[in-house]
Amino acid sequence: MSTVAANALGAAGGGLQDVAASEASLRRFLHGLPGVDAVGLEARAASLGTRSIKTTAKAYAIDLAISMIDLTTLEGADTVGKVRALCTKARNPDPSDPGAPRVAAICVYPDMVATAKAALEGTDIQVASVATAFPAGRAALPVKLADTADAVAAGADEIDMVIDRGAFLSGRYLDVFNEIVAVKEACKRPDGTAAHLKVIFETGELQTYDNVRRASWLAMLAGADFIKTSTGKVAVNATPPVTLLMLEAVRDFKAQTGIQVGVKPAGGIKTTKDAMKYLVMVNETLGDDWLTPHWFRFGASSLLNDLLMQRQKLTTGRYSGPDYVTVD
């Protein structure tokens, strides 16, 4: 997860190297993307949501989903104790079953990165940090870059940045693009490696699916390693149709450029049933290439316990209850 192409579009640009040459060319490109029919997109997502995942498929999907979780705490009230507890949970999600898979990452604010890093010492669990004046993103660029650099210096493996929605909605696409490029630069470490960059759109604020598709391409063109729906801090977070649209975007981007980009829905995904729907969407839109924690993540906290309860049910044949999973 720590090796990053210096420039996402490098040699294999798919003819897109010049798209961001100017505000006009970038706008022309983004507005030339195919439109999204909202009703059709939502119907497709809903239809995939009716897949019936049973027995062996369910067991596979539960373990896969657990392994894809960015176990998250992003509260003003976060403490070292809270973060350590969460890291313990990440290492050993189900004390009653050591065979339960570990989560992919712990996601915290930058000032908790060092704590998390220390707590996860010796595991391959990644530490992800939000940055760039998360969640609003309303700060000057130098502040955002300092925020990012601070998290990277503290040991963050992954950076979850937010885009400037104000700039995006007012049509200043090149500003958004340049900011992503700058943050990506700030993700670099002195040893030449770099933290993985996830770009958060806050799709609930972008309002339209057309905007989500444009934001997806803009971020991928700027070098995002992952595109992520939401901060979890606004009224509307990840939804199946928004995620499906972003899956289609990474599919098309790979088809055109050869570059694979990951997707992370975040916020509001609370149940195993929800997680199954997302995995079905990944499976039927992208297939095997994305069915790994390297390329798909869930930004979630309470989801993990529901997955563990369902997992216990499959293992023991009895329905579990909240007292049989840990509250951290």
Partner 1 sequence: MSDIASRLDAPARIQVSKTYKLYVGGKFPRSESGRVYEVTDSKGQWLANAPLGTRKDARDAVVAARAAVKGWSGTTAYNRGQVLYRVAEMLQGRREQFAAEVATAEGISGKKAAALVDAAIDRWVWYAGWTDKVAQIAGGANPVAGPYFNLSTPEPSGVVGVVAPQSGYGFSFLGLVSAIAPVIATGNTVVVAAAADAPLPALSLGEVLATSDLPGGVVNVISGRTADIAPTLASHQDVNGLDLSGAIAAEGPGSATELEAAAADTLKRVIRPALDQAALDWTNAPGTERLLSFLETKTVWHPMGI
Partner 2 sequence: MAKNNKKAEETVTPKGRLFEYAPAPESPAAAGDIATSYGHFIGGEFVDSSGSEALKTVNPATEQVLAEFAQGTDEDVDRAVAAARKAFTDWSALPGSERAKYLFRIARIIQERSRELAVLESIDNGKPIRETRDVDLPLVAAHFFYYAGWADKLDYAGYGANPKPLGVAGQVIPWNFPLLMLAWKIAPALATGNTVVLKPAETTPLTALRFAEICRQAGLPKGVVNIVTGDGRTGAALTAHPDVNKVAFTGSTPVGRAIAKQIAGTRKKLSLELGGKAANIVFDDAPIDQAVEGIVNGIFFNQGHVCCAGSRLLVQESIQDELLDALKRRMATLRVGDPLDKNTDIGAINSAAQLARITELSLAGEAEGAERWSPACELPSAGYWFRPTLFTGVSQAHRIAREEIFGPVLSVLTFRTPTEAVEKANNTPFGLSAGIWTEKGSRILWMANQLKAGVVWANTFNKFDPTSPFGGYKESGYGREGGRHGLEAYLDV
Residues that bind partner 2 (CB under 8 A): 12, 14-16, 29, 32-37, 39-41, 43-44, 50-58, 60-61, 64, 245, 248, 251-252, 254-258, 260, 279-280, 283-284, 286-289, 291
Strands 196-200 and 298-300: unpaired
Interface with partner 1, residue 39, by CB under 8 A: yes
Pick what 190 binds: partner 1, partner 2, none; C-beta below 5 to 8 Å, kind-dependent: none
Q: Which of 89, 184, 264, 277 is catalytic?
A: 264
To the query of whether residue 228 is one of the catalytic residues in this protein, the response is yes
Pick what 68 binds: partner 2, partner 1, none; C-beta below 5 to 8 Å, kind-dependent: none
**Residue carrying structure tokens 């989801």:** 303
162 strand-pairing partners: 200
Q: Which of 144, 184, 228, 277 is catalytic?
A: 228
Of all helices (H) and strands (E), which one includes residue 108?
Answer: strand 105-108
Nearest residue (CB) to partner 2, 125 versus 250:
250
Specify the stretch interacting with partner 1 by CB under 8 A; choose among 4-12, 33-41, 174-182, 223-231.
33-41
| Rounded Cα distance, 258 and 114, in Å | 35
Count of C-beta atoms within a 10 Å radius of residue 27: 16
Give the relative orientation of helices 272-285 and 240-257 as an angle to the nearest 10 degrees.
30
To the query of whether residue 288 is one of the catalytic residues in this protein, the response is no
Interface with partner 1, residue 252, by CB under 8 A: no
Closest distance between partner 2 and the C-beta of residue 220, in Å?
A: 12
Q: By CB under 8 A, name the one of 38, 46, 153, 169 that touches partner 1.
A: 38
In whole angstroms, how large is the CA radius of gyration of the chain? Answer: 19
Count of C-beta atoms within a 10 Å radius of residue 135: 17
Interface with partner 1, residue 37, by CB under 8 A: yes
Phi, psi of 209 (to 5 degrees): -65, -35
Pick what 233 binds: partner 2, partner 1, none; C-beta below 5 to 8 Å, kind-dependent: none
139: amino acid identity, one letter = A
Pick what 207 binds: partner 1, partner 2, none; C-beta below 5 to 8 Å, kind-dependent: partner 1
Pick what 58 binds: partner 1, partner 2, none; C-beta below 5 to 8 Å, kind-dependent: partner 2
Q: How many residues bind partner 1 (CB under 8 A)?
A: 8
| Rounded Cα distance, 146 and 183, in Å | 9
Specify the stretch interacting with partner 1 by CB under 8 A; choose among 34-42, 118-126, 133-141, 288-296.
34-42
Of all helices (H) and strands (E), which one includes residue 162?
Answer: strand 158-162
To the query of whether residue 270 is one of the catalytic residues in this protein, the response is no
> Could you give the angle at the alpha carbon of 81 between the alpha carbons of 78 and 84, nearest 5°?
100
Nearest residue (CB) to partner 1, 37 versus 97:
37
| Rounded Cα distance, 177 and 149, in Å | 19
CA nearest 22: which of 215, 166, 175?
Answer: 175
Contacting residues toward partner 1, per CB under 8 A: 37-40, 42, 207-209
Residues labelled as active-site residues: 160, 228, 264
